[in-house]
Amino acid sequence: MTDTAITGRERVRRAFAREPSDRFPIDLGAHFSTGISAFAYARLREHLGLDARPIRIVDPSQFLAWVDDDVLERFRCDVRILRAPWRATHAWAPRAGSSFQVPVTMQPEAQADGSWIVRQEGRRTRMPAGGFFFDGDWLGYEDRPWAEQAAALRDEADRLRASGAAVFLMQGVWAFFSDHPDWLMRAAEDPEAMAAENAKRCDEAIAHVGRLIDLLGDRVDIIDMNGDLGAQKAPLIGPRLYERVCKPFVARVVDFIHRNSGWKVFMHSCGSICPLLPHLADTGIDAINPVQVSAQGMDPSVLKERFGDRLLFWGGGCDTQRILGTASPDEVRANVRHLTGILGRDGGFVFTAVHNVMGDVPPQNIVAMYDEAYACGLERSSALV
C-alpha cells in the first residue's frame, strides 16, 4: 500500500483495532499534550521555508500553536484537533521578533522585569522574561454563549471531516482526579466524601458529553479525558484509593460514550503510572497518553507486553525530557527508531513525542523526529507483508 491508499481516519481506526495498515498514524497538535510551542513553531515554519503567516495560539497557558495544514501535510499527520476557533483575536508580541494571534479576552500586562502577567477575576498567570509559556492559574478565554460555540464547533468539525483525517475533539473532560495537594489530602482522609463529590461530577460530565454527542455525532473519532496521575518516580495516588474514588466514575463516562457513539476515549496522564494502568484499562478507555518513557517504571517494553492488547499507546515516540531538545538530529532519529520499534509493534500505536515540543527545541530535531517516524512506520508495515 502507498501512503495515499487510505485516509488518516482509516489509519487511526486500524490502529485502534490492531489491524494491518500501510503505517502507524502520526499526530502533531491534536491534543494539548501532543502540540508544539508557538516559539518553536515559528522557527520550524521558517526552517521549512513556509510562509510567515500569523501564528494562532490554540492553548494560551502552555502557549501552543494551532498547527496549520501545510505543516500537518508536510509531516503526514493523520489527526486534526477539533476546537471552536476564538471569537476574535489580536496580535501580541511578547518580545522582539515574535508576534502571535491570541484571544481578545487575553490581555497580557508587561512587567518591569520583562515578564508578562494575565489577570482574570482574581486569578493570574505569568510568563517570565524570555519564557515560553505561562505558569499559575489555568485561565479561560472563551466568552461566547454555548449556542454560538456549538455552531462554530459543528462548522469546524464539518471542515475537518472533509479533510479525511481523524477528528479529535479536545474538550478536556475531567478524569475525576486532581494533582492539587488539597484534593489529594481530602481523598486520603475521607474517600467516601470524595467519591460522593465525584458521583455528582460524573452526572454533570455525562450530561455534557451527551450534548457533544448529539451535536457532533459521527463527525468525531476521539475525545479526551485528562488527569495527571503520576509524578516522575511514582503515582500520586495509590491503586486502592484510585479504585475507590476515581475508577467507577471514569468507567461510567467511558461506557456512556461507547454506548452512545463510535468515539474512542483518549486518557491523558503524565508520569509514572504503571501500577494504575490495570485500573485504567478496566475502565474501558481506549488510549493512554503521553507514555512518559523517562519516568520510573515506564519501560516501553514492559508497557507493550502487559497492556498492548488493551490500550493504544498515543505517544512515547520520542523522549522529550532527555533527547528531543538537547540531542543531535541523528540521536533523535535513533531514539525514534528504538521507541517505535517497541510501541509500534502489532498496531495499537499513534506516533507523537512523549509531550509537547518545547519552545527551545531546534527545528532540525523536529524534522528529524517526524521524518524518522514516517520512515519507521513504512518499514514496519513492509516487514509484515
**Which CATH code of 3.40.718.10, 3.90.226.10, 3.20.20.210, 2.40.10.340 fits the domain covering 8-34+76-82+144-384?**
3.20.20.210
Q: What is the pLDDT of residue 380?
A: 77
* Percentage of residues of the chain with pLDDT beyond 70: 98
pLDDT exceeds cutoff 90 at 364: yes
Mean of pLDDT values over 335-360: 97
Beta-strand relationship, 312-314 and 349-350: parallel
Mean of pLDDT values over 129-136: 96
Task: Please report which confidence band the pLDDT of residue 45 belongs to, taking 50, 70 and 90 as the band edges.
Answer: very high
Q: What is the DSSP string of 197-234?
A: HHHHHHHHHHHHHHHHHHHHGGG-SEEEEE---B-SSS
| Cβ pair 309, 284 in contact under 8 A | no
- The pTM assigned to this predicted structure is 0.96
Domain positions in the chain: 8-34+76-82+144-384
Q: pLDDT tens across 212-265, in order?
A: 999 999 999 999 999 999 999 999 999 999 999 999 999 999 999 999 999 999
Three-state DSSP at 343 gives helix
Q: pLDDT tens across 75-131, in order?
A: 999 999 999 999 999 999 999 989 999 999 999 999 999 999 999 999 999 999 999
Q: What is the pLDDT of residue 385?
A: 42
